[in-house]
């Protein structure tokens, strides 16, 4: 458990909340989302990671934070109700990991480029086109909003090996 009250505990597989579909953020959620986003960013930076979705901290809201830290400077993106509106037919394979599956990595093939629509924290409509690591990260985080984990994109054999390895490591750390 984090000792810093601003940090949020990140859920680990097999927590069932990671498999739930998050609900859209509505008008009545504005204050909660504005309070949650900086805490999610702080938790993501501390982990350390480059993306975090609200379901990973137990909030079933369609909210994602991402920061690839180009040039080693913070450049946080907060995406409310993100949706992929276009994806390239060209594919790219990258190694992915996840804060909810610590220490586990696998090559995942996804569209090489995507376009997302989302709202910023002020409620303004935005669009972002991404490729490379950002495209992968955005797709990975949007998957979380739909209860999908990166291991769902790999073969059953690789997935089972990864999940067994994770369970063994967590048990060795006393995290049952």
Q: Which residues belong to the active site?
A: 141
Q: Which residues pair with 65 in a beta bridge?
A: 52, 78
Contact between 97 and 104 under an 8 Å Cβ cutoff? The reply is yes
Q: Which two tokens stand for residue 126?
A: 């935005």
Cα–Cα distance measured from residue 171 to residue 70, given in angstroms and rounded to the nearest whole number:
36
Q: Which residues, in sequence order, are CB contacts of 155 under 8 Å at separation 6+?
A: none
Query: Which neighbouring-strand residues pair with 91?
Result: 111
Tokens 């086109």 belong to 129
Beta strands in the chain (DSSP E): 51-53, 63-66, 77-87, 91-98, 101-111, 113-119, 125-131
Rounded distance between C-alpha atoms, residue 66 and residue 137, angstroms: 8
């Amino acid at each position: 458990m984090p000792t810093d009250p601003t940090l949020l505990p990140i859920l680990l597989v097999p927590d069932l909340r990671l498999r739930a579909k998050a609900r859209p953020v509505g008008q009545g959620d504005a204050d909660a989302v504005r309070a949650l986003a900086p805490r999610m960013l702080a938790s993501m930076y501390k982990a350390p990671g480059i993306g975090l979705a609200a379901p990973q901290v137990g909030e079933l809201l369609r909210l994602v934070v991402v920061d690839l830290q180009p040039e080693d400077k913070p450049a946080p993106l907060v995406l409310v109700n993100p949706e992929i509106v276009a994806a390239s037919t060209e594919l790219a394979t990258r190694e992915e990991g996840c804060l909810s599956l610590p220490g586990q990595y696998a090559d995942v093939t996804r569209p090489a480029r995507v376009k997302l629509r989302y709202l910023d924290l002020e409620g303004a409509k935005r669009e972002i086109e991404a490729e490379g690591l950002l495209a992968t990260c955005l797709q990975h985080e949007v998957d979380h909003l739909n209860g999908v984990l990166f291991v769902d994109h790999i073969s059953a054999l690789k997935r089972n090996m990864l999940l067994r390895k994770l369970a063994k490591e967590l048990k060795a750390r006393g995290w049952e």
